[in-house]
Amino acid sequence: MATSFLSQKEIRTGEEVNGVDIRPGIFQLIAKEFPGFSKAHCISLAELNQYRRQYLALLIAEERGELASIDRDVMDAFKNNAILSENIQDEIEGTLTRGQRIADRFAEFGGSWTFIISFFLFILLWMVVNIWFLTAKPFDPYPFILLNLVLSCLAAIQAPIIMMSQNRQE
């Protein structure tokens, strides 16, 4: 087991970092606070992360002159290993109009395997009924002009609704 030069505490195996492996800017920050620190010494990973945060804060402060609130949030998230993004889906869905909710549900179903398989079965059933069962007087004889009309109308209605849903979600 190694001993940390900074805290003089023992470091668990695998959590030690040699001075030679530390980036120059962070190394200089540590050496400024602990003048005897050299490339031959070790520190713990937790201590290194603490100096990484300090170094990052210094870089941001040098660039802008001061830390803005968003910079502090980033630093806190970095410190706590937290996620910065928020899930705003519930908030967005709470403000949807009835038409937007219908378009979303329609797009969800219209782009699913359930829809594709069920519509394929509908088309197959349509053709089978018109070819074999109603051979004497089919309501839509081959080349299935009525079926083509139904498919065209479905596509003409389905496409804009799905596009409305996608545009809103974007």
Residues 6+ apart with CB under 8 A from 161: 103, 106, 107, 110
More confident: 88 or 20: 20
Give 146's pLDDT tier (boundaries 50, 70, 90).
very high
pLDDT at 152 > cutoff 90: yes
Is it true that the peptide bond before 143 is cis, omega within 30 degrees of 0?
yes
Helices (H), the chain: 24-33, 45-64, 69-80, 89-94, 98-110, 113-128, 145-169
Return the exposure string of 24-38: e unless at least 16 CB atoms fall within 10 Å of the residue's CB, then b. eeebebbbeeeeebe
Q: Is 103 exposed, middle or buried (0-12, 13-18, 19+ CB in 10 A)?
A: buried
d(CA 76, CA 79): 5
Report yes or no: 44 and 3 within 8 Å, Cβ to Cβ.
no
Collapse the DSSP code of 164 into the 3-class scheme (helix H, G, I; strand E, B; otherwise coil) and give the result: helix
Residue type, 166: Q
pLDDT of residue 101: 84
For the cut 80, the answer to whether the pLDDT of residue 143 exceeds it is yes
**Distance between CA atoms of residues 170 and 67, nearest Å:** 32
Going by C-alpha positions, the residue among 79, 21, 76 that lies closest to residue 46 is: 79
Dihedrals phi, psi of 75, to nearest 5 degrees:
-65, -40
pLDDT digit string, tens, across residues 82-140:
554 555 555 556 678 888 888 888 888 888 899 889 999 999 999 988 888 888 888 88
